[in-house]
């Protein structure tokens, strides 16, 4: 049985871009090149939701927490993995439709 996936669009807020710049400056890394971090950057995320024996009450909450966990492992930026922190730095919208162009019609 294939589990159903939900798809979300995560949009970076300017507060996250500022946080990244401050983090890079504190690490004495080279400054980001212009256009390296786009203020309105969007990422599509997919997450398996629910299923037999899984009690997922709030799908959006799970997507927010798992995205913050992903950021920690991909960028070493350790933010608290809570919906409130997510909402401070990102916007989340459920995708209306997902089309896999590699799938046969």
Asked, for residue 101, whether it belongs to a domain, the answer is no
Residue 78 maps to a domain: yes
pTM of the model: 0.77
* Residue 29 falls inside a structural domain: yes
One digit per residue, the tens of pLDDT, for the chain of length 105 reads 567 888 999 999 999 988 888 887 887 765 555 555 556 689 999 988 765 545 556 889 999 999 999 998 888 788 999 999 999 999 999 998 888 888 876
Residue 12 domain-assigned (yes or no): yes
DSSP assignment of 25-67 equals HHTTPPPPPTTSS-TT-EEEEEEE---TT---S-HHHHHHHHH
Query: To 10 degrees, the CA torsion angle through 34, 7, 61, 40?
Result: 20
Q: Is residue 104 part of a domain?
A: no
Tell me the C-alpha to C-alpha distance, in Å, between residue 58 and each of 46, 67, 83: 15, 14, 11
Beta bridge partners of 50: none
**Containing structural domain, residue 72:** 5-94
- pLDDT, position 75: 80
Query: 28 lies in a domain?
Result: yes
In a domain, 70, yes or no: yes
Number of domains comprising the chain? 1
> 11 pairs with which residues across the strands?
42, 91
């Amino acid at each position: 049985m294939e589990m159903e996936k939900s798809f979300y669009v995560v949009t970076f807020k300017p507060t996250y871009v500022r946080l990244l710049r401050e983090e890079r400056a504190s690490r004495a890394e080279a400054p980001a090149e212009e256009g390296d971090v786009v203020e309105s950057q969007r990422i599509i995320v997919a997450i398996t939701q629910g299923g037999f024996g899984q009690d997922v009450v709030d799908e959006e909450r799970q997507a927010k927490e798992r995205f913050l966990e992903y950021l920690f492992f991909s960028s070493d930026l350790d933010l608290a993995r809570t919906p409130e922190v997510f909402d401070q730095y990102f916007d989340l919208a459920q995708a209306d439709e997902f089309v896999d162009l590699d799938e046969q019609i």
